[in-house]
Amino acid sequence: MANKHEIEQFFRELQDEICTALETTDGKARFQEDLWTHHTGGGGRTRLIQDGAVIEKGGVNFSAVEGPAGEDLKRQLEIDFNADFFATGVSIVQHPNNPLMPIIHMNVRYFELSDGTYWFGGGIDLTPHYVDDAQAQWFHAQLKAVCDAHDPAFYTQYKKWADDYFYIKHREETRGIGGIFFDHLNEGSLNKSKDEIFAFVKAVGQTFAPIYTHLMKLNGEKPFTEAQKEWQYIRRGRYVEFNLVWDRGTKFGLSTGGRTESILMSLPKEARWFYNHQPEEGSEEALTLSKFKKGIDWV
């Protein structure tokens, strides 16, 4: 059965593989690494890429932290006993230069308590500034194939979970076209062994680079207008709103003494807000906005 050290090592190697793939495909920018330590133990490697040929700003973070669970963490976990914790994972957000290229997010993670409790979580979701139906269908087909290889029930369940999770309640719109999202996966929540669940999480992590490098090659050099760039800034603003207001990972990290710079790596280099902005009826922007809703069957 996989232990925490094997899981940590996989995530370390996954970060390396994804950074290499993104650098190679971008062809211009290189990741800068920032090593850090956590106040309770362990630490991480924050890697940031900026001002590339395709990627304007992106992060690929690895962390493995441990120590005694503080009162904030115990409240988050709803436990009333003292315990040590271990948490490791990889978190990614990529903001492209081109408004016809989508933002992508992925997180794969593992959490363990000293009483033997453990779980895996993660997912991948896509946030286009303009929805290309064919690319949206392709993206969801890739995720469905990964899910189906491990359990035919996974895609439907985790796709709905993503629709519900990546929802900007105060705007009544989804952050993008969703993807898959899952949390607290263990032998108690699934009829699967720890190794089987880990195999699924591995597969999700390993599908990131092929998916996003394909989209980079398709969209990175497309011509675009100033109006499309303006719309990109507005959609980035929505991305910021979700991450700061609703994202559990952001709130959890900030409330439990996580490393602020690594947590807020997900924010774009530039974003804009306009009072009561409404896209012109019948425009590409309005069409895209109409597709930011739950329950769309992309495959």
Query: Scanning the structure block, which residue is given the tokens 């690319």?
Result: 135
Known catalytic residue at 95: no
Encoded tokens for 3: 């232990």
Encoded tokens for 298: 């992309």
CA angle 120, 121, 125 (to 5 degrees): 155
Residue 219 · residue 101 · CB < 8 Å: yes
Query: 298 exposed, middle or buried (CB, 10 Å; 0-12, 13-18, 19+)?
Result: middle
From 217, 117, 214, 132, select the one nearest 176 (Cα to Cα).
132
Query: Scanning the structure block, which residue is given the tokens 């992590």?
Result: 205
Say how many CA atoms lie within 13 Å of 229 toward its Cβ: 9
Active-site choice (105, 129, 140, 150): 105
Query: 281 exposed, middle or buried (CB, 10 Å; 0-12, 13-18, 19+)?
Result: exposed
Encoded tokens for 218: 């398709």
Given CA atoms 207, 213, 218, 219 in this order, what sign does their dihedral have? positive
3-state secondary structure of 115: coil
In the beta sheet, which residues pair with residue 181? 123
Given 3-state DSSP classes, what are the helix, strand and coil percentages for the chain, each rounded to the nearest 5?
A: 40, 25, 35
Known catalytic residues are 105
